[in-house]
Amino acid sequence: MRGWDQHEGHAVALPIENIDTDQLIPARFMSTPRSEGYGRFLLHDLREGAQDFPLDRHPEASVLVARRNFGSGSSREAAVYALVDAGFRVVIAPSFGDIFAGNAVNNGLLPAALPEDMVDQMIRSLGDGAAPVRVDLEAGLIRMGGAEHRFDLDPTWGLKLRNGWDDIDLTAQHSDAIAQFAERRATRFPWAWPGAKRSV
């Protein structure tokens, strides 16, 4: 995965609360191999029923502004694949489902949490349209329509997004510490291994 520092694109509003992972990608699409692309599944059932859905009106959009509790629900990372494959790099909302947010960062998608009143203001100013937006990861700033909004980002998430780091590589640096820990644990708490303790 490639990291990124700055993103310039267009923002579009989806002013709905609790966009859960089942809406982001309905379960029936989840047996598809990722190589086939998940973009067409994004919000599939919501889009299909609606006329003039904001995302369909602005296919170029790469920043999504939504309401509270975005990505709540299941651990399905496919919800993030759908957003990423549809071209999104940033989701702005007052709050996110915990697992979704972690999954997003692991796929280069920024979950930017902004105070509710700022999100409201953005949603109002966007209306049905799309507007240019600039996101600066290092400074933690979103610039849209002349206004500047600061967002808080877990510093580790910031590093991962900027460097495109993969956790497995990071953890591999600590393989000795892991092996020692496992050995200590197996000695002190042998019951923590199923059946008889086997070597790790």
Can you give the binding site for another protein, defined by CB under 8 A?
16-18, 20, 22-23, 26-28, 30-31, 34, 45-46, 68-69, 72-78, 80, 95, 97-100, 102-103, 106-107, 154-156, 159, 167-168, 170-172, 174-175, 177-178, 181-182, 185, 189-195, 198, 200
According to DSSP, the residues that pair with 12 across neighbouring strands are: 64, 130
Closer residue to another protein (CB): 62 or 95: 95
Angle between the N-to-C axes of helices 78-85 and 98-105, in degrees from 0 to 180, rounded to the nearest 10: 50
The nearest distance, CB 27 to another protein, in angstroms, is: 5
Q: How far apart (Å, rounded) are the C-alpha atoms in residues 129 and 12?
A: 7
Question: Which residue lies nearer to another protein by CB, 60 or 173?
Answer: 173
Residue 34: CB atoms within 10 A of its CB come to 10
CB of 101 to another protein, least distance (A): 10
Cα–Cα distance for residue pair 18/100, rounded to 1 Å = 12
Looking at the Cβ atoms of 77 and 85, the one nearer to another protein is 77
Of the two residues 62 and 74, which places its CB atom closer to another protein in the complex?
Answer: 74
| Shortest distance in whole angstroms from residue 62 CB to another protein | 21
Quick one: 87 or 108, whose CB is closer to another protein? 108
CB of 156 to another protein, least distance (A): 5
Q: Residue 106 or residue 125: which is nearer to another protein going by CB?
A: 106
Total Cβ atoms within 10 A of residue 178: 12
Beta-ladder partners of 8: 134
Name the burial class of residue 62, with classes exposed (0-12), middle (13-18) and buried (19+) by CB atoms within 10 angstroms of its CB. Answer: buried
Query: Residue 86 corresponds to which tokens in the numbers above?
Result: 């549809």
Shortest distance in whole angstroms from residue 17 CB to another protein? 6
How many CB atoms sit inside 10 A of residue 134's CB? 15
Phi, psi (deg, nearest 5) at residue 145: 50, 40
Compute the least distance from the CB of residue 177 to another protein, in Å.
6
Question: Residues, the chain, total?
Answer: 200
